[in-house]
Chains A and B, each alone.
Chain A
Amino acid sequence: MPHLAVSDVRAKYGSLEVLKGISFSIEKGEIVALVGPSGSGKSTVLRALMGLTPITGGDVDLAGERLNYSSSREVRAARDRMAIVFQQYNLFQNMTVMQNLTLAPLKIKRWDRAEVEAEARRLLGLVGLSDKIDAYSDQLSGGQQQRVALARALALKPQILLLDEVTSALDPELVGEVLDAIRKLAAEGMTMVIVSHEMGFVREVADKVVFMDAGQIIEAGTPAELFDTPKTDRAQNFFSNILRH
């Protein structure tokens, strides 16, 4: 049984159907990358999983349990088990790095303070920011903020981590440090769904690549299959265009 199974998920913005029946699955510890042109619905898949964009059809199963997005209580239950990191880091501006990490575990989960803080320190060590524990987000570079956002997402011990173009807003020289942090998570066995334009990185870390266009999955397979021998015309066009530079 897959860790996360998404079957025939649909979503609309107003009357525009942005997800037209998306199905894929991930085993525990796997990394799936969603790739495709802008507007293809990759980010919407992640937003739908988090309950930020309402799902209008289809099913999501996580660790054998059906996730139900029909009430705000159910949505919160789903968010309890997954975490997302956004393109724009979205740290809380008025809090230190440590407070950003510990707010939700302490105030929302009401976990034990000593354990939460120990875990926060461990995570900051993992992303290489132990020295920034008392800094505010406006004192950090984009890459550092994004690594804090990663650690903050992990502080809630999610069963799956969703990464939505986490390097797209960064200066090129800062991309590497964030990708390194993600590699470490992969080595720890974190199950992840990644939306990314960093094709080299996707090829390196992903177990499975899903190519999307216009709200549909066009083709899915291993990185080698999609990058080297895409079967569909659209995938061929897309990969030949972006791999050219």
Chain B
Amino acid sequence: MNYRFQFGVVWENFPQLLEGAWLTFQLGVFAFAGGAIVGLLGAAIKTYGPWPLRLLVDTYVVFITNTPALIQIYFLYFGLPEVGLRWSNEACLLIGLTLNAGAYLTLILRAGFISVRVTEIEAGQTLGMSLIQQIRYIVMPHIAKSIYPALANFFIVVLVMGTSVGALIGVDELTGQAINLSSVNYRWLEYFTVVAGMYVVLTFIASIGLALLGRWVFRVKARIF
């Protein structure tokens, strides 16, 4: 192999890569948070809702989980202007990722809903809790604890795989920045070596943050690796 790595130009433009990484992180957090809200609603409807609403949620989940995220985001990016909505690239990506994550999180959270012990729900009922209070005080803490690892894993999926789709609709997140910069200097291998390392660091930080959050808030003995 005769290729000589020249990282100098990458370090010169490192601040721009950092900006990209920051945007990636923000997109990941917001898409996951939005997806968690959508997923919680979806899972609650799938568990307690009337059949027309359940059918609606099922349809949404089937369509989203069986099509690539890229195609869903292209639909928003190219389709919305046709109906008169001109949203920024970032907005399209964020909404697309939120809807995508929401479908997967509906399924993940649904597992949490149906794994709550019936007896604990009955204890809540006999203490006088309404359905909302049962979800708030019994189901949610149970979900947080029992499926925390699955949720944390999915956050990493959104953070790394989800957001990088943005590069294809011109969002300058980490991958997008790397493509922009390397197409100027043609140091593709150097840029993507560094970017790969940055993704690892990003997910590592996120994993530690999630593990600490789990320990403090939900008493989950979450492991980082």
Contacts and interface: CB of A to CB of B under 8 A. Distances in A.
* A and B: interacting chains: yes
B126 A84 contact: yes
A79 B128 contact: yes
Contacts, number: 59
Interface size on B, as a range, is 20 to 34
Contacts of B142: 93-94
A92 B117 CA distance: 10
A51 B127 CA distance: 12
B34 interface: no
Interface residues of A, number: 25
B47 interface: no
A224 interface: no
A103 B137 contact: yes
Give the one of A52, A90, A109 with max B CB within 10 A. Answer: A90
A156 B123 CA distance: 13
Nearest to B122: A52
Q: Chain B interface secondary structure, helix, strand, loop or mixed?
A: helix
A104 B120 contact: no
B120 A79 contact: no
Given A92-B120, A94-B142, A94-B145, A107 B133 contact: yes
A104 B144 CA distance: 21
A93 B120 CA distance: 9
A80 B218 CA distance: 29
A136 B130 CA distance: 24
Contacts of A156: 127-128
A160 interface: no
Interface string A135-162: 0100000000000010010001000000
B126 A76 contact: no
A76 B122 contact: no
Contact of A52 (B117, B126, B129, B219): B126
A156 B124 CA distance: 12
B88 interface: no
A52 B121 CA distance: 11
Interface string A44-75: 00000011100000000000000000000000
B138 interface: yes
A51 B142 CA distance: 24
Interface string A68-112: 000000001001100110101011111100000001100111000
B133 A108 contact: yes
B141 interface: yes
A86 B123 contact: yes
Nearest to A136: B219
A80 B128 contact: yes
A86 B127 contact: no
B123 A90 contact: yes
A90 B128 contact: no
The 6 A-B pairs of least Cβ separation, nearest first, read A90-B123, A94-B141, A104-B127, A90-B119, A79-B128, A84-B126
Interface of B: 117, 119-120, 122-130, 133, 137-138, 141-142, 144-145, 218-219
